[in-house]
Amino acid sequence: MNDDIQAKLRELPAVSVVLEEMTDDIARHGHQAVTKAVREHLSLLREQLQRGETADIAVEGVLSSVRRMLSNQNQSTLLPVFNLTGIVLHSNLGRASLSEAAIAAMSKIASGASTLEYDISEGKRGDRDSHIEAIICELTGAEAATVVNNNAAAVLLTLNTLALNKSVPVSRGELVEIGGSFRVPDIMSRSGCRLIEVGTTNRTHLADYADAIDADTALLMRVHTSNYRIEGFTKAVPERELAHLAAQHDLPFVVDMGCGNLIDLKALGLPHEATAWETLKNGADLVLFSGDKLLGGPQAGIIAGEKSLIAQIKKNPIKRALRLDKLTLAGLEATLQLYRNPDALTSQLPTLRLLTRSEADVRSQAERLCNLVTKALGNSYSVDIANLSSQIGSGSFPVEVLPSAGLAISSKSGEDGELRALDRRFHELPNPIIGRISNGVLLLDLRCLEPNHERQFVEQLKDLSL
Ligand SMILES: *Cc1c(COP(=O)(O)O)cnc(C)c1O
C-alpha cells in the first residue's frame, strides 16, 4: 500500500468523533442503529481508499451519508400511490379505498380497549361477530351471518365445514382462477372436499347436476365467473332451479358471489350485478362475498344465510384462524352502515364515488391538469388530453368499461426508453404515480384522482427532477 493511501486511512474520522456530532440523530433513531450505520459507512470508505479510489472522508460528508442511510432504513415499502391505471378496484394496489366513516371507526377502536368480545350488558364474554351480524342480515335478508379474513377464507371455511370428505358438484364453466392464487379446484381440495366436475365449459344443464348427486354429495355450489365471460352458445342453470334441485335432495345451495354487491347498480348507471339479497331470495342457503371489492370496505369475507349452517361454520376450529381483527370489524361495520342510506352512497363511499364519476367531470380535471403536467415534464415530453376507458376491476365485470379521460404523455423523440424512464421516475416519487404504457404513450387515467388529492399530485411533480 502506498504512503498516500496510508495517510488517507489515518485521516478517516473515528466512530466516536462522528457520533459526537449526532446527538439529535441518536435521540431519534437510537444509539445502536446510529453506531451501526456510522461503522458501516466508515468501513465502506476504508475499502474505497484501500482500492485507491477517492472518497469523501470529511466529517461533514460522513454525517450526511449516514443520515441518508438512517432515513432510508426507516422508509416503508408499503406506500400510498396514485392509482391512475384506470382500474378502479386494483387488486395489486389495495382494492377499495375506505370511506371516512370506516377510517374514523377503525382509528377509534385502534387506540384502546374495546368491547370486541365483551357483552357489555351481561358483563361477560361476547362474540366478535355480534357487532356486525345484525347489519349484514338487514342488508341481505339473511337469517344469520359470520365474517372472516377474505372471500377465499369464506369459501375454504364453508366447504371445510359442510363438505369435508364429501363431494361437491361444480359446473366446468365455473372452475375459475381469480388473481393467480385463488383457483376453485385448489381451494376445494385444500378444504377437504372432492370436486365433481359437471357439464362442459360453455354449457351446463340441470340434468348434469342431478346426475352428479349421490349419497356422497355434501352441497351444490355456484361460483361467480367474476373475471371472464363465455359468450355465444352457452347455458348456465338459473339459480332458482339449482336451489330447487338442492332442496329436493336436502342439500345446502352455496353461492360464491365474488364481488359482493348490495344495491341496484343499474340505477347508478353501472352494469347490473346480482345483489346478495336477490341471490338469497332465489333460494341460496348461503352467499359468500368479499368486503373490499364492490362493497367498498376493508379486506373481509362475508358468509350470510341460513342460521343452522352459519352456526356449524362458526363452530369449525378453522374459523379461529380466519377470524377478523378488531380494526377490520370496525371498518366493515361502518362501511355497511353507509348502505342504510343508499342515496348518499355515491358521495360517502369512495368505490362508488369513483365508479360513478362522470366522464365530463374526469375530462374537466384532465383539462385543469394538462398544462401543469406539461410544464413539470419539461421539453422532452408532450402531454395531450385523451379519451380513456376505465375498468371496474378486482375480477368483476371483465367486459364492461366506463368512459373516462386522462393524460397521454409521449416523448418527443419517440423513443420508448425515454417514456419508460419517465414511468420509472413516476414510480420513484414519495407517493408513486402508477399509470400504464400503451402503444408508445404513458396513459394517466384520472378517474381515481380524487379532487382533494389533486394538489398533492401536482406538488409532487416538482420532485421529478427531469
Ligand atoms: C374475488 C373472488 C374470490 C376471492 O375473494 P378474496 O376476497 O380476494 O379472497 C373468490 N371467489 C370469487 C368468485 C371472486 O370473485
pLDDT over threshold 90, residue 177: no
CATH no., domain 82-90+355-464: 3.90.1150.110
The residue whose C-alpha atom lies closest to atom 13 belonging to ligand 1 is: 258
| Phi, psi values for residue 113, rounded to 5° | -75, 155
Quote the pTM value. 0.92
Of 92, 181, 256, 396, best ligand 1 pocket probe by most atoms within 8 Å of the beta carbon = 256
Q: Is the C-beta atom of 391 inside 6 A of ligand 1? A: no
**Substitution candidate for ligand 1 out of 147, 159, 226, 287 with most atoms within 8 A of CB:** 226
Is residue 285 within 6 Å of ligand 1 at its C-beta? Answer: no
pLDDT tens string 329-385 = 999 999 999 999 999 999 999 999 999 999 999 999 999 999 999 999 999 999 999
Mean pLDDT, the chain, as a whole number? 95
- How many CB atoms within 10 Å of residue 392? 24
**Of 225, 290, 303, 392, best ligand 1 pocket probe by most atoms within 8 Å of the beta carbon:** 290
152 pLDDT more than 90: yes
Residue 398 has pLDDT above 90, yes or no: no
Atom of ligand 1 lying closest to residue 394 CA = 1
Atom of ligand 1 nearest to the CA of 176: 13
Q: Indicate which atom in ligand 1 lies nearest the CA of residue 154.
A: 9
Q: Predicted confidence band at 181 (pLDDT cuts at 50, 70, 90)?
A: confident
Whole-number Å distance, alpha carbon 309 to ligand 1 midpoint, is 21
Domain ranges of the chain: 3-73, 82-90+355-464, 100-345
CATH class of 100-345: alpha beta
